[in-house]
Structure 1
């Protein structure tokens, strides 16, 4: 049907006459179904999961080396090997039972002995490493003392935990591929099966992958915490990536790095499987070259990330300390600057109140000397490098760009953020304006010089308001002017419905003024009071109404141009109402 879009029409007509059982879909069988078998029987998936869990156990065992007396690195190696083997067995047997489609109870009965077998192997391996294998009589007489020691108890706890984690993670990844009922449904859709199949399509593969990623991140945090707990004595000299300066065992740090890189590879391959299944269910065309090169792209990406990580100066916190010190000094200097300005104002007030007497007023507040912090001596060869600053700047810019695109792809509403930032900026400007006006008023009263800027009555009334408030003030002033002339807004009348009536009132005022001039009823002082050039048409009331709507109800603030235009419209309306010959004009 729709899969035959690229086929010639005559071939499609011939295929429609072939019986259903003779129809063959080689592309679906050789790509989708076989690809899922390759994923379920793949060796890469269990190998990477085993490597990840082995890194977790490695970081954990080196904490035991630090905390438990008599716990040696050879014992830690045995525990790591046994736990890794248990994880590999869990992944392999999980794939086999998944393909066999057994019942849950049967799978548990069949597989309950796997961790027990590896616990026994762990006990034998620890005895061989310790070199003190107990005799049969000692095992009979003192079984607890001979079998259970600190190393074995720690390993016996880790083995079932690692086995269960491997089983759960493996099933999360196995569920991403096409399931048997989904393959049967696709086959029925192509006409290969005549019996009805339960439609269980659209399994939540995205949620499965998200759960796996969440588990991977949680285990990664655990690995970092365990690696931080495996501190050793500081070694002399410098090592690769300053590992030795971390006071952490190098194997713990290496296991942390390997854990995250292996997780990147697993997530990349799992994403490929989920995409392939979804595209197969949607009937989309698949480019096999893209899937063949997918793993190469993932490995290249991980290699680039590893290269960038290797350039980061791990452990070099002297630059961070200097940055925090600079921020602290800047904050301290700003606070003392405010105190000095306040002291200067207090001194001016006191000097004015003391008059011309001989008693000198109190001196202004003197800013104490800033505390001098001792500079941390920098070691030889650890001077700030320009390349490090460039790297940090590039990494920060790249992080901001990636975060912006991720949030935009998820439908983040940037208009809300911009409106809040605009509101905060308006509050900041209003606060600064009030502060400047207060200081100017104080200086005017003390010195006797008017430092306030000359402005009209509207500018004086709107001083200290935000731009939105200034536009609203202009519109409300127009309403007051109209109400004084008997053309005010009625109750329950919206601004947009009121705008035409206000415009009509202005037109009537112009007609009344023109008729008064023709009849000679104007006052003698008209030539003086009338402006040089009268506007030919009434002011733009509609524009002022739209500006009021934007300032009052919209999330986008007005700009300075809108404020100036609103003030001009207000002045023109006042001049229009107060033209000579207008009844009720002052």
Structure 2
């Protein structure tokens, strides 16, 4: 039985728990509510949505606060049902008072008299919609903060709350984009544009949508950091004290790059895919033609010099390629055509990259489907046609990289390439610190295991990958366990390592390498 002393106490950051995370959740929910207010006010301009936003703000803040209070008081035996019942009675009263905020006193008096005579008049249509949306905001805030709390539990599966957070963020973004899109249509072309297929195109940046997705990415990143910190604490791994600050710094840099890309991409209709591809092909063809003309000019230059010495005119047969023709300057006020083409090219390149990445992930997770696709004759013929060309281009790239000095270990099993690199950069491995040598030994084992078909997946931690590595090298299970533990310390802690420790790790590496080599030879 686990005693109290054996329970794992996860370290918490009060600033993140009590301020940073609740503020981000509140702003995201209010961004969604703002899109609803904008849509309703375009349909009904007489409606004032300020009290609605104020009610949603109070509901969200109260949900976050009450979750913390209830979690603290439940240890004292307080009844959750009684607490929630009183909470919602107070919320209903506050929301009803807010619904009177934009009405004159005469209307309020008439409504109160009708409620006194018939309590059913309390739930008019406007108040009913307000209650339903307040319930959605309250549930979203409560479930989100509850999922974050579940991430700190070291004895449960933390993938479930992480999936809940990602799913809630995704569907909230979908509904937000739908509301914002409808608002933009109605704002620019009227309500009739919703059934008009010739409606104008939309462009521009919607601030609340951008704010929702940026803050959502920050929350998901912070949730991922929480999972890693809890896992490292459970596995008793010492991490750097400034890891959270570095995580935040690099996260902000990443979000800044995303924002820069978003600002660069076009917000209206772009050039078509074929038109963008034609621009790329034309540009590449012009570059190739220029290079060929330059090569011919350089080859003919000695002949031109010889003819000039003999007194023979060159005849203008070989001349340097003319400079590129500069485009005419567009009239004032017109957008630059090259800028629009460049933004379109960036858009299509990013789109193709995303589609390719998603297809690659899906096919990697479904190898049977990939094998079935390759058995289709037209696709197999296309692969056989493109495959050699791709291998030839890859070989050229590798040949160019092999000519550059590299950090390759002088391994007797590596062949002539290792000895060539060693001659280009002698003694490079001895210049590494013990920590860097330990990292190299482990990563070298990963490369050897990948050649045997047991590559580590990107989502696997070293400890999660350890059983797979032990399965392909059962004779070196103890060495693999020791190497994994030392690698984790070298990678994620600030412990100091000596040359003697690096020498011991090298012995472990040799034992594992020998077993993997025997398996590869057999």
TM-score by length of 2: 0.51
How far did 1:118 drift?
3.2
Give the aligned partner of residue 316 of structure 1: 269
Match for residue 85 of structure 2? Answer: 112
Distance 1:233 1:108, change over 3 A: same
Q: Which residue of 1 aligns with 2:41?
A: 65
Call closer, same or farther: CA 1:174–1:427 in 2, change over 3 Å.
closer
Shift of 1:397: 5.6
1:387 paired with 2:342, answer yes
Q: Which runs of 5+ in 1 are unaligned?
A: 1-19, 183-200, 236-243, 327-378, 433-586
- Aligned equivalents of 1:104, 1:317: Cα separation in 2: 62
Alignment partner of 1:163 out of 107, 113, 138: 138
> Does the Cα contact within 8 Å between 1:36 and 1:177 map onto a contact in 2?
no
Give the 5 Å matches for 1:516-531: none
Aligned with residue 100 of structure 2, among 127, 133, 137: 127
Q: Of 26, 43, 54, which residue of structure 1 is paired with 2:30?
A: 54
Alpha-carbon separation, structure 2, partners of 1:127 and 1:212: 35
User: Among 140, 158, 164, which residue is 2:113 paired with?
Assistant: 140
C-alpha displacement at 1:70, in angstroms?
3.1
- 1:209 corresponds to which residue? 162
CA shift for structure 1 position 150: 5.0
1:280 equivalent in alignment to 2:233 = yes
Equivalences for residues 234-383 of structure 1 within 5 A = 234=188, 253-317=206-270, 319=272, 380-381=334-335, 383=337
Whole-angstrom distance in 2 between the partners of 1:147 and 1:318: 55
Cα deviation digits, residues 210-236 of structure 1 (max 9, x gap): 11101110111111111122233439x
- Residue in 2 that maps onto 1:232: 186
Paired position in structure 2 for 1:218: 171
Distance in 1 separating the partners of 2:131 and 2:379:
64
Map of 1:84 onto structure 2:
57
Q: Does the Cα contact within 8 Å between 2:271 and 2:344 map onto a contact in 1? A: no
Residue of structure 1 in register with 2:127 after alignment: 152
Q: CA deviation at 1:325?
A: 13
Alignment RMSD (CA, Å)? 4.2
Deviation, 1:177, is: 0.8
Classify 1:141/1:423 alpha carbon distance in 2 versus 1 (closer, same or farther; 3 Å): closer
- Provide the aligned length of Structure 1 versus Structure 2: 316
Larger Rg: 1
Separation (CA, whole Å) in 2 of partners of 1:426 and 1:87: 54
